Structure 1
Amino acid sequence: MNRPLSQQEAAERYLVLFPSHVLILSLAPGHQTFVYQGLLPLTGLRVREHQGSQTGLDIFGSMIETRTIFCGTPDKCQLWVLGLQYRIQELKGQNSGPCSSPLSLLVPCDEPWKRQELRSLLLCSPIQQWEGKPIQHMGPVQALVPVQVASAGSREFQDRLLLLFAEDLVFLSLSPGGSGLIYQGKLPRSGIQALEKSAILGRLEFEMTGNIMEPILVACSEAEDYELCLFHLQKPNTHLPSMASQPPIIPKKVKRI
């Protein structure tokens, strides 16, 4: 059990050390479950013993404010200092390996806190082979859903992350080794329809169609994700703009989806 100290007050927290990150948790009222409080990538962090009347350690870096952790006893404090310093040094020689990226912990994003953290990560991390305006200028992410996609003809599904913005859908994949994300294509929401297929196929699957694209099958593993996608994508035909008045942008990489 560790206690980070903010400028206003100290709060009880639990730290979990992963190979490349520190997960910060707190106990929910009633002490029945843990509550996600943040994630600190170890890359770029520094650790030192706290210079004060209480036994503790300081975690700091160029991208975060200094956090002071009080561990209770000198032995616990020394254990955390040595453990963190060891992992930080290990990562310095693994910048190209899978442990150097937070994605190794966040993907698969099968927990709400992982999706929350991944949304923030997408806005400050490079995405390989990205095209078009920066992702930071596309507006807030309305939904982030792990899916499998395939062309309607082949049905050879591939894992993707589907990001729903106000005007576009973006598909990303995880790079080999899990060290980064790769851009796999973009579709304008104004030019597509989502047709429900789950009742026919007996699985959580829908089809995306449009005038400028071949049909794409999208499969979800969770009913919540399936309903979320349909909620955002299904709309009456009368709401779709005509090709004459507002032609949609042809996605350059839709064939790679």
Structure 2
Amino acid sequence: MIEILSPAQLDRARRTGALVGDILQTLRERSSPGTNLLDIDRWARDLILEAGAESCYVDYAPSFGRGPFGHWICTAVNDAVLHGRPHDLVLGDGDLLTLDLAVTLDGVAADAAISFLVGDSRPAESVALIDATERALAAGIAAATPDARIGDISHAIGTVLTDAGYPVNLEYGGHGIGSTMHQDPHVANAGRPGRGYRLRPGLLLALEPWVMADTDQLVTDADGWTLRSATGARTAHTEHTIAITPAGPEILTRATR
């Protein structure tokens, strides 16, 4: 299903996006060496419920997972990159943490992810990974103009990632979003320009470039959810929900402070 939102729905999407951005910013500020991933999950729960929103993850049970996800946020550390299930792990200085959050407010969902380094340590490889995903996201957003095609976004993202020297996995990528978290169209993180669905005002997309330092192969943890690099290499993942408007792409999940 591909949803095209009305102006009234888009206004609600802006509120949902701002909530997601602000929660991620708050969790980033609270995360430091000594923080437990279960604390982050609890903080996310409290912030979502205080806002009168609903988690897209607690009851999420797609075919590729193992039962309901059962947590409020995805927390991926170092070699973990996607669907990181919170567990009893204490963060250390220099850990690369990715937080991926999706909520629904007033019937509209928004989805975003940030990767950042915990504490004061700044390993060069990790800084480069995060920078590449952020630049790829910016390129993908810039390509998301009215009457462009999905392939134009995929090509823009993939060009940045491959030029930075990273292999690109095509199993998981961006997606449409609206009244539910995951919708068509799929937005791969590499592709051919001029191909695929033509963008229309009112379409919401969650764009999410992610990379692993030296491989495009994933392995799954025993929890049935957490995806890691097959080599144990570090990873990064950056995501925004955007709206296609007549004036161009609008980022909905930017923090308001």
TM-score (normalised: structure 2): 0.25
Q: Taking CA–CA contacts closer than 8 Å with sequence separation of 6 or more, which of the two structures ends up with the larger relative contact order?
A: 2
Q: Name the structure where strand makes up a greater proportion of residues.
A: 1
TM-score (normalised: structure 1): 0.25
Which protein is bigger by CA-based radius of gyration?
1
